[in-house]
Structure 1
Amino acid sequence: FVFSTITHPLFNRLLVLLIPQIILILLIFMEGIRLRILDKKLYREEWLPVVTETGDVTGRVAKSVTKDMKNKFMHPVVRVALIFKGRIYLKERDQSRLLDPGMLDYPFEKYMQYNHDIEEVVRNSIGSESKNPDIPVRFLLKYIFENENTKRLVFLYVSEIVDEITFNSLNLTGGKLWTETQIEDNIGNNIFSECFELEFEYLKNTVLLSYHLKNTDS
């Protein structure tokens, strides 16, 4: 048998027509895969609101992006001070924290995400670190914290607990209760977070003072 190596003109024309279409189909398929991967990434992404000093939301930005932009945008952060019988519960901040990793602080702190309710964020911050997110909390103050790495509109809440059953229901680990004297003896020694040292004076002159006055009267 003899096989001809001469290509038929019709076959050449078909190749000319089919190859671009095959390439186009492959490009569309690859773009579809890329978009699905991007959708999954965006779905998992945390979106933080950009706020003014008064708390008005002006936009949003991905958390992974704003970390690299340091203090360009201001984001709301919820913090909850836990006080049991006049003592403040503190533990080391996780090493993955952008601000003051390894420093002593409240266990409850969380960025408020875009379109989330602040009360929901408060409960989530407590629930993520304890077994009882339904402890009593109340709002204390709002202030702006800024350094070279971050810019935050901080909403400080407090949970005052006086009975051991409620406190033990939190099942907290890794921290301990600090008295006012212990804290005052160590302020400025680079063991507490910057935010906590700013907030301690306010706590001492309001929440803790009220607790001591009540117990003195009783």
Structure 2
Amino acid sequence: MVNNYDISKAMTIKLDNELPPMPKFVEGVRRAPKREFTLSKTETEIALKNALRYIPEELHEKLAPEFLDELFTYGRIYGYRFRPEGRIYGKPIDEYKGKCIEGKAFQVMIDNNLDFDVALYPYELVTYGETGQVCQNWMQYRLIKKYLEELTEEQTLVVASGHPLGLFKSTSNSPRVIITNALMVGMFDDQEH
């Protein structure tokens, strides 16, 4: 169990200040269908703010138009620029950075789920069921990987719907990672329900 579930006491990790180059898409890899852009002006601002919270502030001006373009084009912000180049796949555990075997093992599992041969729509982080995503965007993917590289046997990483909340002090027999998420059944996915 996580001790003192207080966000202010969590170890917080940020993305680097260096902007990665835009990766090239591999031809023939399944892509998620484009979603219609249906957000109001206020909802659009919230979507941009939510995506930019992962980005160092000095990069906001450059990335805001790029994220807005993704939102208009794909109906959501994936942060494609933050996707690592090429094929992602579960490599041998010793090829991962980390301070404990569990942190490395979680990285293997995440990468295996995003393999071009495994994921339904790997570029959109969808592994199953048309909407089941590993993370909401590629910034979350990068951050989770960074957290897992720092994770020790005396910490627990807490992730809520793809958003890494931080590393919390715990014990060696506590869970190394706690993940919460929710997926609404189509006919109940509205404001009323």
TM-score (norm 1): 0.25
- Higher-Rg structure is 1
**By percentage of residues, which structure has more strand?**
1
